[in-house]
Amino acid sequence: MDLLRFTTAGSVDDGKSTLIGRLLYDAKSIFEDQLQAMERSTERRGGTGVDLSLLTDGLQAEREQGITIDVAYRYFATPKRKFIIADTPGHEQYTRNMVTGASTANLAIVLIDARKGVLTQSRRHAYIAHLLGIPHLIAAINKMDLVDYSEAVYQSIQTDFSAFCQQLGARDVRFIPISALHGDNVVEKSARMPWYTGDTLLDTLEGIHIQHDINLRDFRFPVQLVCSPQISGLPDFRGYMGRIESGCVRAGDDIVVLPSGHRSHIKDIVTYDGNLSVACAPQSVTLMLEDHIDISRGDMIVHPENPPRSAREFHAMLCWMSEQPLHPRGKYLIKHTTHTAKAVVQEIEHKVDINTLATGPASELKMNEIGRVLIKVQRPVVCDAYRDNRASGAFIVIDEHTNNTVAAGMIEGAD
Amino acid sequence: MPAPLSHLDVLESEAIHIMREVAAECKNPALLFSGGKDSIVMLRLAEKAFRPGRFPFPLMHVDTEHNFPEVIAFRDRRAAELGERLIVRSVQDSIDRGRIKIRHENESRNVMQTVTLLDAIQEFGFDACFGGARRDEEKARAKERIFSFRDEFGQWDPKNQRPELWDLYNTRVHPGEHMRVFPLSNWTEMDIWQYIAREKLEVPSIYYAHRRDVVWRGGWLPVSHLVQPKAGEEVKNIMVRFRTVGDMSCTCPVESDAATAEAIILETAGSRITERGATRMDDRTSEASMELRKREGYF
């Protein structure tokens, strides 16, 4: 059984919580005690029956205010697949949550209210999903019950949203007309929309091919730890521990260590369960090399044929997440793979209006704003462009004084 | 090309990666080990992450002294087998020293563990503690980060959590602050049992079906020196197993005849009640009880 991580984005009234509740309920992943707790809460608020949206309210403040504050993770499994949902609130001020949820997802569900059509926020969700490199997008046209299950309404929204996604360059976009409230096309096929011949939402989630989402072409192994236990019986054991972030490696392969450029061969691929002849992303392994060379945390072991870039200066998209805005010349730490370095933002090249996708000049980036910057680092980062390789193209920005994570970064390229 | 990884392989690799990040970036970590099934899985993951070397951290148990004797025996034996250091800090000590006030001897000590835990973190100067909590357990946990920041008072501020992006974990803390790190965040109860079966991990015998004297108090409670039948209560001897192992005064077993990990997997697949809902009386007191405890510094 494999694992699909997806994110849901939608605004307060789009019925996102109801959709997740419905998915879990119909997939039989809501338990009786949770159901009873929801019934009690619904009654306390003067309702009757079960309000499925209550399932996703985690924190006291959320229940009090009836809003979602933070990313919540939910789990369910069907006989075909295990799912992790990053459930993110949709309000404008929570762009940072949407980016957080999107960063680990293979798929995004963008909820569109059938009565309202494609709104600014639908475009914003699609833009963020695309910016974060999510390979699959599902536009769930919700509340079809409130537009009499009209095919014409569905088609007009599909036309609008397809045009926008094409402008973004999103490749895999699917449309499903649903009613989360009544369950149409969520898990069960709707009898009220015979004109829709496609899969239900759950069938789509179960069937989508995700094997090719991970880059199995370019071997990237950031060293996390050097293991030389110096215990009796293993006096010479020296292994490089880490997770293969992309690509595959075989015993005997030629490798190069970056940024030093030292060359060697893979002697053994060691795991607790025995040595492997080949290992692929995202396996965690310990590599042993033929030659004793100086390697430490933050270095990257790769194949010499298609190495990443080593750059001291690079262009990147930043999503700013701190109350304190970013100013040009600001000094920060960046953490990229297993490498943390001092960095300075040389220049804010432009800011993106995420509602219109228009770009314009900016003197700062405020919380929830997205812009393109030029960053200079004290030690070179060994990187790929984010669009080619999410693992070696992503970084976070840390404020050295508060220790807070203040931005998500995606490398666009080096000059 | 090797076969695609299963969901357990992916979860395992993620947990190993998290543990190695802590080992590399934190100065003085510890692994909270209770002898329960989740922390047993964590020990296997630590073996996978660090062998042939030793664990770069000690194990620590906050002992309520309301634990099931089978679990404590297992805890000591497992630590000895691994050859790793086990620190035990006791809630009873905290009570004896006046750090915790109790109303009566037999009340649940779940909440009290927080005081002993935070004292121990301060005593040893730990800057990161691995915990076995999972997000599927409880709705406040569903919103918690894998690397969860605690301020100098050990408190969790759910509304002010650091964004956690990709798997680039920000481990930085100032002196006196610390991180709670949850490598099993993305695991479910089902994943845990599937992993126990796959890895053939030994767990304390009380996880498997056995006969036990119980009394009904809105759930079956095991009869012990802490839970004595009251007048009018009927003691029943039934086949049960524990889905969680905690304070004996408030941890309920479920009726079951599942005697192996495989049988438990089948039972879990058909279960209609959550793990905590079925077994923890203290979680039923209010919708927010876990959140409130967590804010105070609980596991």
pLDDT value for A55: 64
pLDDT value for A45: 66
Does A351 contact chain B (CB < 8 Å)?
no
Asked if residue A204 and residue A255 are part of one domain, the reply reads no
Interior angle at CA B61, CA B56 and CA B66, nearest 5: 170
Of A262 and A29, the one with more pLDDT = A262
What residues have CB less than 8 Å from B20, skipping those under 6 apart?
A224, A225, A241, A242, A243, A284, B49, B50
Interior angle at CA B289, CA B288 and CA B293, nearest 5: 115
Give the total number of structural domains in chain A: 3
Among A11-15, A54-58, A197-201, B152-156, where is mean pLDDT lowest? A54-58
- State yes or no: pLDDT of A58 exceeds 80: no
Rounded Cα distance, A409 and B165, in Å: 10
Percent of chain A with pLDDT over 90: 68
Tell me the one-letter amino acid at B154: G
* CATH number for the domain that contains residue A387: 2.40.30.10
Name which of A94, A81, A133 is nearest A9 in CA terms.
A94
pLDDT mean over A173-183:
95
Burial of A325 (0-12, 13-18, 19+ CB in 10 A): middle
Cβ neighbours of B14 in A, within 8 Å = 282
Model pLDDT for residues B86-142, shown as the tens digit of each residue: 999 988 888 888 888 888 777 777 778 888 999 999 999 999 999 999 998 887 888
Residues within 8 A of B (CB atoms), A 162-201 only: none
Asked if residue A237 and residue A208 are part of one domain, the reply reads no
Among candidates B48, B52, B165 on the partner chain, residue whose Cβ is nearest the Cβ of A229: B52
Q: State the nearest Cα–Cα gap between A301 and chain B, in angstroms.
A: 16
- State yes or no: pLDDT of A65 exceeds 70: no
Asked if residue A164 and residue A270 are part of one domain, the reply reads no
Average pLDDT of the residues of chain A: 89
Among A20-29, A121-130, A388-397, B63-72, where is mean pLDDT lowest? A20-29
| Residue pLDDT tens, chain B, 299 long | 567 789 999 999 999 999 999 999 999 999 999 999 999 999 999 999 999 999 999 999 999 888 899 999 999 999 999 999 999 998 888 888 888 888 877 777 777 888 899 999 999 999 999 999 999 888 788 889 999 999 999 999 888 889 999 999 999 999 999 999 999 999 999 999 999 999 999 999 999 999 999 999 888 899 998 888 998 899 999 999 998 888 888 888 999 999 999 999 988 877 766 666 666 666 555 556 777 777 877 87
pLDDT value for B249: 85
Asked if residue A382 and residue A340 are part of one domain, the reply reads yes
Taking CB atoms and an 8 Å limit, are B143 and A72 in contact across chains? yes
CA-to-CA dists, residue A283 to A222, A244, A245, B9, B127, angstroms: 12, 6, 8, 8, 27
- CB distance B226 to B290 below 8 Å: no
Does A70 contact chain B (CB < 8 Å)?
yes
Asked if residue A331 and residue A289 are part of one domain, the reply reads no
Which among A278, A302, A326 is the end of a domain? A302
Rounded Cα distance, B89 and B96, in Å: 13
Rounded Cα distance, B229 and A13, in Å: 52
Taking CB atoms and an 8 Å limit, are B163 and A97 in contact across chains? yes
Of A327 and B260, the one with more pLDDT = B260
Task: Categorize the per-residue pLDDT at A144 as very low, low, confident or very high, splitting at 50, 70 and 90.
Answer: very high
Asked if residue A373 and residue A352 are part of one domain, the reply reads yes
Does A271 contact chain B (CB < 8 Å)?
yes
pLDDT value for A39: 67
Which among A190, A213, A236 is the end of a domain? A213
Rounded Cα distance, B192 and A78, in Å: 17
* CATH number for the domain that contains residue A108: 3.40.50.300
pLDDT value for B94: 85
Tokens of B288: 């927010």
pLDDT value for A53: 63
DSSP state of B141: G
Rounded Cα distance, A298 and B137, in Å: 35
Name which of A294, A252, A281 is nearest A269 in CA terms.
A252
pLDDT mean over A339-367:
93
Of A46 and A208, the one with more pLDDT = A208
Cβ neighbours of B24 in A, within 8 Å = 224-225, 297, 338
pLDDT mean over A403-410:
97
Chain B: residue nearest A40 by CA?
B287
Taking CB atoms and an 8 Å limit, are A403 and B188 in contact across chains? no
pLDDT mean over A148-161:
97
CATH number of B7-190+288-296: 3.40.50.620
Asked if residue A230 and residue A209 are part of one domain, the reply reads no
Of B268 and A359, the one with more pLDDT = A359
Domain ranges of chain B: 7-190+288-296, 204-283
What residues have CB less than 8 Å from B41, skipping those under 6 apart?
B132, B184, B187, B192, B195, B196, B201
pTM for this entry:
0.93
| A-interface mutation test, from B139, B167, B254, B272, most A Cβ less than 10 A away | B139
Model pLDDT for residues A214-242, shown as the tens digit of each residue: 888 999 999 999 988 877 777 788 999 99
Which among A267, A302, A337 is the end of a domain? A302
pLDDT value for B291: 79
pLDDT value for B287: 52
Among candidates A74, A242, A405 on the partner chain, residue whose Cβ is nearest the Cβ of B170: A405
pLDDT mean over A158-185:
94
pLDDT value for A110: 93
Report CA A164 to chain centroid distance, whole Å: 21
Chain B: residue nearest A72 by CA?
B143
Does A408 contact chain B (CB < 8 Å)?
yes
pLDDT mean over A386-390:
94
Peptide bond into A328 cis (omega under 30): no
pLDDT value for B210: 95
Of A214 and A349, the one with more pLDDT = A349
Asked if residue A203 and residue A235 are part of one domain, the reply reads no
Expressed as residue numbers, the domain containing A273 is 220-302
